[in-house]
Structure 1
């Protein structure tokens, strides 16, 4: 467990028309930038186990609360959370620090953003490390439409899009219960549930499985979401079909070296065709569920550091300017 007071103090940085709350470790002028991108419903704090180890290994660690989260900006327009805006925030963050490119690490929705960033701005990414969510093939039909056809209107991706505001309000009204209940490991086998399972989870009095964090760590998430609400993060889901359209004309093949880490008991399916779209990928897995870097912190950290060492370090002078932190 990590004492929340040991996590770096944040800085609010203006980028791409918004402000991001950014947590840093390591020396800027040492180069080797690595950007850690959280998922939903997470924060930069979800990387608390990896940040000090990466900094100690010589990396300039940059962990933003992405737009919609924590004390970062929360635009009111749904379209302001599409992949162009989210990837644009990260490009602008590199510009702020004067970096040409960086290694990007993503978990869950953060992985989706990192894959999308690499498609839209390949020159700004030197390596990709993603956890849980593999590259998503675009296919011939928008993603939400496919999910609705296959999984029905109660599947949470579909529900978020077709019934805007409903789930957000339930999460806001049950913030502590929802986060306590979702951040679990060693879960019992899933059973069919009526309605949207996440709404049921937010209202459940008895949490499933075992907690993945201490009460003080959970308190960081609860405090942040009590302040920000959940709508900003849920709006990422509401742009999935818009993202499908925005990615229509980009080269779908990612050529950058990539590490894909799966949780063997994660509910998110593996990609059987990952290497077709990410030919320079190395695939690994850990015996855990969805919250990989929090469930298996030491193993995740060593897997990331070992892969980075095998790849060779990023160019320490890959900067756009000589500004120092």
Structure 2
């Protein structure tokens, strides 16, 4: 009901790759010019609500999945069901469902990680790449979690999710409203990192910092989704980072596709110093915002995406 009130497309369940994905589709009249929007964690297809109308108006067939583990999409029990082969395989199967050889893929946060991985594993199914917040992650000599544990310690949330399975999941599920309220903030004052595990700290903090990113009604969409799904399935994406590192061992690490990278100037995720070495045809845009880029700066995000797509030749109709 809330999605309808905010004029977001109605969902349909689509069987792909052995699971069902909850898909929000708009602009079917623009068939032949697909763009797929991939959310991050702990998000929902609804995080793209500001982009969907603008993309439809610009002539795109917009496909927005709740990826596996989210919303009313399937939530397999096995941790390994959330590795990059499965997550990218879902998107390939989604293209097959709609009869598309390829599409423009847009990702934010973990969605960006999936889009980078999809482009490495299935380069022929990706037309162009647009990613927000998370730049291409170089595959170094040692698995990612191992490196993070050494550099950032056992309380860093990526490491904690892997080394203490179930602990954070339970805290977030006990405090879903408070966690999401405290997480979705902007203009948060700069401060030294707190001791302990960041996500657990957010879930148990009495007062949020900064300003809300969204209205109470919008936040309620996210809350209702995670009250239904819980957090374990989505956190299982993190629990496959080292598995992904192994799965990508023999893949050409260079992405030759035209790519747009959109950073938030005040995002906690660092910009990449090696981006152009691995994504040589990348253009970089930085917006004055934090992590929730397309929700904090919707008009600026839409303009950056549409201007860049226009310079790539725009639609293929």
Q: TM-score by structure 1 length?
A: 0.95
2:298 maps to 297
The alignment partner of 1:61 has SS state of strand
Structure 2: where are the runs of 5+ without partners? none
Q: Distance in 1 between matches of 2:114 and 2:243?
A: 14
1:319 maps to none
Q: Is the 8 A contact 2:181 2:219 kept in 1?
A: yes
Quote how far apart the aligned CAs of 1:140 are. Answer: 0.4
Quote how far apart the aligned CAs of 1:222 are. Answer: 0.3
Residue 286 (structure 2) pairs with residue 285 (structure 1): yes
1:15 maps to 16
Q: Distance in 2 between matches of 1:21 and 1:181?
A: 26
Quote how far apart the aligned CAs of 1:279 are. Answer: 0.4
Q: Is the 8 A contact 1:102 1:314 kept in 2?
A: no
CA gap 1:86/1:28 in 2 versus in 1, 3 angstroms: farther
Quote how far apart the aligned CAs of 1:31 are. Answer: 1.1
Residue 129 (structure 2) pairs with residue 153 (structure 1): no
* Consecutive aligned runs of 4 or more in structure 1 exceeding 3 Å deviation: 2-5
Q: Distance in 2 between matches of 1:302 and 1:117?
A: 25
Q: Is the 8 A contact 2:30 2:60 kept in 1?
A: no
Q: Is the 8 A contact 1:70 1:227 kept in 2?
A: yes
1:56 maps to 57
The alignment partner of 1:293 has SS state of helix
1:189 maps to 190
Aligned length: 315
Q: Distance in 2 between matches of 1:162 and 1:4?
A: 41
Structure 1: where are the runs of 5+ without partners? 317-325
1:128-167 maps to which residues of 2 (within 5 A)? 128-167=129-168
2:203 maps to 202
1:66 maps to 67
Q: Is the 8 A contact 1:82 1:242 kept in 2?
A: yes
Give the RMSD, CA atoms, in angstroms: 1.1
Q: TM-score by structure 2 length?
A: 0.98
The alignment partner of 2:169 has SS state of helix
Any idea what the Cα deviations from partners look like across 1:245-297, whole Å, max 9, x if unmatched? 00000000000000000000000000011000000000010000000000000
2:227 maps to 226
Where relative contact order (Cα < 8 A, 6+ residues apart) is larger, the structure is: 1
